[in-house]
Structure 1
Amino acid sequence: MKKIAIIPARGGSKRIPHKNIKYFFGKPIIAYAIEVALKSGLYDEVMVSTDSEEIAEVAREYGAKVPFIRSADNSNDFATTVDVLIEVLDWYKDMDLQFDFATCIYACAPFVNAKVLHDSFEMLIKENCDCVFPILAYSHPIQRALKLSDIGKIATFDDSNSNARTQDLDKAFHDAGMFYTFDVKKLKVNKSLRTQDTFAIEIDELHAHDIDTENDWVLAELKYKLFSNEII
C-alpha cells in the first residue's frame, strides 16, 4: 500500500502575510508539517503543493518534494482543498505513480505528531472508511449559542435549550484544522473529504490550535511553548 503526504501551501495569505513560511519558534511553520510526515515513516512520498517559488524553496530545504507548481485554477480563493488534492494525485498518476492512501497535512499545523498520524491510518484501515481527521470539542454547548444584533442586543439561536442543563446537551465538535487521512480511490469518487463514512479522532484542545488570524498565531505559540516537549 503506497502512501503520500500532501501539504497544501498557497502563497497568497491575506490575514497573516507569508503565513505558511512565517517563523514559528525558530523555523518556518511549514517545516513542522514536513518534518513530522518524514519522521513518521508512514509515507512513500512527502510533497508540498504550492503556487509560490519562495514556499517551494523552503519546502525543499526541509526535505519535501515540490515536483510541480500548482496551477492558477487551484491557486485562487475559490479552489478547495479537494481540488488541490486531486490535481496532485492526477499529476502523479500521469507520472505512473499511484497511491492507495494519503494524508493532507495543513502547512500551519505545528501540533501534528507522528502518533496521531499513525492512529488515523489504523482507524482508516480498521473501519474501511473514506477519511479520518482530528476534531476538537466546543468548550461550551453550541445549543446555547447567542447572537448579537447591530445595536448590541442579545438573542438565542434556539430558545428551546435556554433552560437546559449543560450536562444534558449533546457534545459538539469542530474540525481541528490539522490533517485528513483518506482513501485515494474513494476521494476521487466522492469529491469530498467529509462523507457519510468519515471517522474522527478527538484530541485535546491544549494540543491543537487552528491558525487563521494574528491572535490565533499568538495563542498557538503559547500552547506550543507549554507542550512542545510532548509533540514528537
Structure 2
Amino acid sequence: MGDVLGLIPCRGGSKGIRRKNVQPVAGEPLLAHTVEASLAADAIDRTVVSTDDAEIAAAAREAGADVPFDRPDELATDEAAIEPVIEHAIEQVREADRAYDTLVLLQATSPLRTADDIDAAMERYREADADSLVAVSEDHSYRWGETPDGAERLNYDSRKRRQDKAPEYVESGALYAVDIPQFLATGDLQTGRTALYVLDEISALDIDRPYELWLADKILREWRQ
C-alpha cells in the first residue's frame, strides 16, 4: 500500500445546493467533516483538497487540510469528470512534494463517513491484495424497468423476505482507493482487482439534495454527539 494520499475534491459550483461544500453542517462547513475524518485516519499520510474556489480553500485550510495548488477552471465545470481532477492533483503533489503509492478519494458530500471507516476500508484493501476499492452500501430493493410490454423486475426472480435475499451493493461515493501507478496507466478508479468496503446506510449518506443536508446536520447534532 505504501504512502497514502487522501484527496478531497471540492469545486465551487453546485446547482443542487448552492455553495454546497461550505454550507454549515453541525456548526462547521460541510467539507470540514471529511477533512477531519481524513486527518484522523491512521491510514492516510497527507490530506489535500483540490478546489478552484478561494472560500473553499480557506475553509479547508481552517479544518487542517493542505491546499497546495489551484484547480484549473476547465476541471471545475459541471461536465468535468473526476479522473482528470485526480490526475491533476497527483501530478501537482508529485512535482511539489513527492510521489505517493495509493490514493484515497474522499467526497466532501459524505460527512458521516468516519476516520474508523477509512481505516477499516484501507485494511480491507490491504488484506484483499486489491488494486482498487469502492465503498458501497447494501441494497435489497426490488428494481423495475419499463419495456414496450409493460414493467418488468430487473432483479430477484420472486418476492422473498429481506433476510432471504442475497444483497446487492450500491456505490456510495464516500470513499475510493486506488493504486496510483495503475490509475495513471489506465485512467480508471476501478482498475485491476477491486475490493468492496460495506458502509452502513447512515455512514453512506451522500448529500445531493437540501433535505439530505438537513438530515446530516440532524444526525451529527442529535445522534452522533
Distance in 1, matches of 2:124 and 2:48, equals 23
| 1:183 maps onto 2:184 in alignment | no
Relative to structure 1, the CA distance from residue 132 to residue 94 in structure 2 (aligned partners, 3 Å threshold; closer, same or farther) is: same
Give the residue type in structure 1 aligned to 2:94. K
Q: 2:188 aligns with which of 188, 192, 197?
A: 192
Shift of 1:166: 5.3
Shift of 1:171: 2.3
Relative to structure 1, the CA distance from residue 159 to residue 172 in structure 2 (aligned partners, 3 Å threshold; closer, same or farther) is: closer
Structure-2 residue corresponding to 1:215 = 211
SS at match of 2:223: helix
Contact 1:36 1:112 in 2 (8 A): yes
Spell out, residue by residue over 1:7-63, the C-alpha distance to the aligned partner (whole angstroms, 9 max, x if none): 000000011001001000101010011111111233332110001011001111111
Structure-1 residue corresponding to 2:153 = 158
Contact 1:130 1:193 in 2 (8 A): no
SS at match of 1:177: strand
SS at match of 2:103: strand
Question: Structure 2 stretches of 5 or more lacking a match?
Answer: none
Structure-2 residue corresponding to 1:92 = 93
Distance in 1, matches of 2:213 and 2:110, equals 11
Give the residue type in structure 1 aligned to 2:95. D
SS at match of 1:173: strand
TM-score by length of 2: 0.88
Query: What root-mean-square deviation, in Å, do the aligned CA atoms of Structure 1 and Structure 2 show?
Result: 2.5
Give the residue type in structure 2 aligned to 1:213. R
Give the residue type in structure 1 aligned to 2:187. K
Correspondence list, 1:108-147, <5 A: 108-142=109-143, 145=144
Relative to structure 1, the CA distance from residue 141 to residue 226 in structure 2 (aligned partners, 3 Å threshold; closer, same or farther) is: farther
Structure-1 residue corresponding to 2:107 = 106
Aligned residue pairs total 223
Contact 1:6 1:103 in 2 (8 A): yes
SS at match of 2:178: strand
Contact 2:7 2:47 in 1 (8 A): yes
Q: Which deviates further from its counterpart, 107-116 or 54-63?
A: 107-116
Spell out, residue by residue over 1:130-155, the C-alpha distance to the aligned partner (whole angstroms, 9 max, x if none): 2112211224233xx26599xxxxx4
Q: Which has the higher helix share?
A: 1
Contact 1:5 1:104 in 2 (8 A): yes
Relative to structure 1, the CA distance from residue 192 to residue 160 in structure 2 (aligned partners, 3 Å threshold; closer, same or farther) is: closer
Shift of 1:158: 3.5
Question: Structure 1 stretches of 5 or more lacking a match?
Answer: 150-154
% of aligned pairs identical? 26
Shift of 1:93: 2.0
Contact 1:56 1:66 in 2 (8 A): yes
Shift of 1:215: 2.2
Shift of 1:86: 0.8
SS at match of 1:46: strand
Shift of 1:157: 3.5
